Amino acid sequence: MESKITEVYQNAPVEGKETECEKVSKLLDLVIDGEATSEDQQYFKHHIEDCVSCFESHQKQKLLKGLVCGHLKRVIVPESLALSIKAKIQKTL
């Protein structure tokens, strides 16, 4: 559900706020992937405390990453594979 606060932010972007949001959106993947510097992380964290729309983007992106790492089923390695690799290697000089 779209919250009313979000709409307020979206409909009335303050000019300074907008550039801050842009900066934060560029940091989004870095933060999610643990690649942001601690300075950037602080900046990001501080911003999303106040900005609902960036907070929501962050939640969404985290969820997306969680869907891949938490829900994608791993395929089971056939038992014969390790054996056949070992056998081939033993024959290789």
Partner 1 sequence: MSERTGKQLSKEEKDARFEAELLPVLDPLYNFAYRLTLDEDDANDLVQETYLKAYRFFDYFEQGTNAKAWLFRILKNSFINEFRKKSKQPAKVDYSEVEGYYNSEDVEGESGVATTTDMRTESVQDLIGDEVASALNALPVDFRTVIILCDLEGFTYEEMAKILDIPIGTVRSRLHRARNSLKEKLEKYAKSMGYNSNEI
Task: Give the interface segment with partner 1, choosing from 9-17, 24-32, 37-45, 47-55 (CB under 8 A).
Answer: 24-32
Let me know: does 36 contact 44? Beta carbons within 8 Å.
yes
- Decide if residue 72 touches partner 1 (CB under 8 A): yes
Site string for partner 1, 39-68 (x = CB under 8 A): -----------------x--xxxxxxxxxx
CA distance 51 to 63: 18
- Most distant CA pair in the chain: distance in Å? 71
Let me know: does 14 contact 21? Beta carbons within 8 Å.
no
Q: Residues interacting with partner 1, by CB under 8 A?
A: 1-2, 29-30, 32-35, 56, 59-75, 77-78, 81-82, 84-86, 88-90, 92-93
